[in-house]
Structure 1
């Protein structure tokens, strides 16, 4: 009877209205971003502009992919606690096809203009008669060549997008039809998606980010990228959830749900640090020149402060703030840490992308900030627009009662 009463307390047909200030601010941010990119290209800062486009395009795709991963994980583990907030990662997953196209266009244009991936995409590097001939790149050319690179991008992001789109669509269908058909199909598709995603995300990050410096490689790089993607995705879910609650929506999500999200954010920030440290420490103490060159670049004066600040924001901040049980149950603290982590992982990606691409004009300024604002606006506009299209709770989900009665 207790659960039955819960159903009468909440309006399960409640829909978010995306209008007014939120819509205007997101669109203004997009316009600012476009203006910044146009400014960067028109002033001849092409490489730096493309590096920022790649950074934000990859970040955008990663956060949306993390939304898809979140739903699939909840499905396969048959978790009930998160059902009341599933509409948020579902909206992120639904936007993944657009994010994938944006990233693909940036990568392809960067290859075409020789502003990105020039460490391996130049044909002269493979020509034994050329003064530019590079035996290391020639040895990797079976994997690192332009057609294979583009095909892998299409296969990886295309498969993630299809699964993300179908799983989200099935949940909306469940709202209309009820029954268990949509749930059972989602369960099977989620299991397949997790296998594909798990095996291919490291390769996706090797291609998109690690190949910017094609001489260097790290077998930990894929998991380091996955950890950053996952933490950023959870932080994005927290920001949207808290702001929706502050606007008077989603009353059925309480401090217990927030606490679970806080634990995920805390735990995986520690995991990110573990992988970051393992990659850094093993290379540092082995002191092999061809390995240390990666970190040597990041210790140059332009990057060294950012390098250490990244660790402070992404490790120390969640560790010191979220270790307390009560902190994970307070909306304002969770919102603050989530926004801090989204900025921190932007910095993390900045350190991954910039030293290997921007070799002449190295400084931090308008192009970095403007591009980031533009993509933040695009993400906000697309995700919030998607959230506003459907009821804020999957009302026929078989585990909805468990979510409504969730307590820690």
Structure 2
């Protein structure tokens, strides 16, 4: 069986892929504009959906950096021939980070009036639970002793500065690893690979300590009275399953378009094992977080799930666990299932939808009190960010001199990978 066609193969970003991605961006932006124009509660939903999609956008790109890093640290050979795809994800991370920071900044800056206990006050569209004026000022009518105890972390300068530093660090390491890989193709030798290995080790240490903090700040603080020490790892699992599913889907679609013929069912088998394994890990952390809260039955903890058991969210709450646990369990458990291209493709699509719902349930109940079905806000932001990610990622991929790292030290092992 032929394992590859040409190590000089380049991806050409043109035709329907470019047209559809640009069209999705335009349609999505129009829908977002309509959401803001409608005013009222639609504006709150728009900000919540923009945070959802920008956070997910960042997570998917970060998953590309994470994938490259642990492949380098493990000195894995199987992934060498397909590393250009996660590297393209990593190259988009700086743009995704800027977009998220703009949305977070706007959500903190712009305010609207709400009525609480008969009192009208102005609160920001995002992070109102801790960023509303007076919550940390003793004697204020808005004073909240719980938020006062967390003010060292939950204050705008530190919160925003921490996001900038963490996203900047992740972007820097992703950029450096991609650059070393590209330099390797022209310079040869082991210097660039050794540098990639070193930077990957440093990144994983930083990432392991900071990603839970990133999740605590960006998402958990939307409901600032509640906390869970497992929330960061729960987000890490969701981030990685989402990223792996999109990477695998991109590779499958590229192969269907005639690219990357050296990628075989053996490589997809390994992708399937990672997706399956991290899906089970996601379920383990999800259940541990849920079960311990249910068993302890402490009001300050159980309120998080109580809100998600309101009638408008309860169906989606249980559908979340059904999709993200049962789908990979039933569709990817057997060896043969991981080697079937169409099975893998549809499983990835299901998991992408499932983890969008997962993030939706993390964000919406704490920001949008009344769920009234999916409308222009949800559809518009998903379409816009889906088109933007596709356009940016494929643009970065097309700029690579070759779809295969020609002088990667483990390339031969990857081209002859068999399980």
TM-score by length of 1: 0.97
| Distance in 1, Cα, partners of 2:262 & 2:215 | 37
| Distance in 2, Cα, partners of 1:367 & 1:214 | 24
SS at match of 1:120: helix
| Distance in 2, Cα, partners of 1:61 & 1:142 | 25
| Distance in 1, Cα, partners of 2:336 & 2:207 | 34
The one of 20, 45, 60 aligned to 1:63: 60
1:257 correspondence with 2:252? no
Kindly indicate whether the alpha-carbon contact (under 8 Å) linking 1:48 and 1:361 is maintained by their aligned counterparts in 2.
no
Segments of structure 1 that go 5 or more residues without pairing to the other structure are none
Match of residue 116 from structure 2: none
How do 1:255-404 residues align onto structure 2 when only pairs under 5 Å count? 255-360=265-370, 362-390=372-400, 391-404=402-415
- Change over 3 Å in CA distance of 1:360–1:329 after alignment to 2: closer
SS at match of 1:37: helix
Superposed displacement of residue 285, structure 1? 1.2
Kindly indicate whether the alpha-carbon contact (under 8 Å) linking 2:32 and 2:376 is maintained by their aligned counterparts in 1.
no
| Distance in 2, Cα, partners of 1:383 & 1:101 | 16
The one of 105, 112, 118 aligned to 2:128: 118
Match of residue 117 from structure 2: none
Count how many residue pairs are aligned between Structure 1 and Structure 2.
403
Which deviates the most, 266-275 or 32-41? 32-41
Kindly indicate whether the alpha-carbon contact (under 8 Å) linking 2:219 and 2:362 is maintained by their aligned counterparts in 1.
yes
| Distance in 1, Cα, partners of 2:26 & 2:75 | 41
Match of residue 24 from structure 1: 19
| Distance in 1, Cα, partners of 2:398 & 2:200 | 24
Match of residue 81 from structure 2: 84
Superposed displacement of residue 181, structure 1? 1.2
1:197 correspondence with 2:197? no
Note the alpha carbon deviations across 1:87-110, whole angstroms, 9 max, x for none. Answer: 000000010000111111111111
Kindly indicate whether the alpha-carbon contact (under 8 Å) linking 1:318 and 1:337 is maintained by their aligned counterparts in 2.
yes
| Distance in 2, Cα, partners of 1:111 & 1:125 | 15
Which deviates the most, 279-288 or 352-361? 352-361
Kindly indicate whether the alpha-carbon contact (under 8 Å) linking 1:266 and 1:318 is maintained by their aligned counterparts in 2.
yes
Superposed displacement of residue 6, structure 1? 7.4
Kindly indicate whether the alpha-carbon contact (under 8 Å) linking 1:256 and 1:329 is maintained by their aligned counterparts in 2.
yes
Match of residue 173 from structure 2: 163
Note the alpha carbon deviations across 1:350-371, whole angstroms, 9 max, x for none. Answer: 0000001112564321210111
Cα-Cα RMSD? 1.2
| Distance in 1, Cα, partners of 2:291 & 2:379 | 31
Superposed displacement of residue 346, structure 1? 0.3
| Distance in 2, Cα, partners of 1:315 & 1:164 | 30
Segments of structure 2 that go 5 or more residues without pairing to the other structure are 111-123
Kindly indicate whether the alpha-carbon contact (under 8 Å) linking 1:6 and 1:404 is maintained by their aligned counterparts in 2.
no
| Distance in 2, Cα, partners of 1:330 & 1:281 | 35
Match of residue 417 from structure 2: 406
| Distance in 2, Cα, partners of 1:55 & 1:34 | 15
| Distance in 2, Cα, partners of 1:300 & 1:362 | 12
SS at match of 1:191: helix
Superposed displacement of residue 46, structure 1? 1.2
| Distance in 2, Cα, partners of 1:374 & 1:285 | 41
Match of residue 229 from structure 2: 219
Superposed displacement of residue 130, structure 1? 2.1
| Distance in 2, Cα, partners of 1:337 & 1:365 | 25
Match of residue 50 from structure 1: 47
Structure 1 segments, 4+ long, off by >6 Å, are none
Kindly indicate whether the alpha-carbon contact (under 8 Å) linking 1:68 and 1:90 is maintained by their aligned counterparts in 2.
yes
SS at match of 1:124: coil
TM-score by length of 2: 0.95
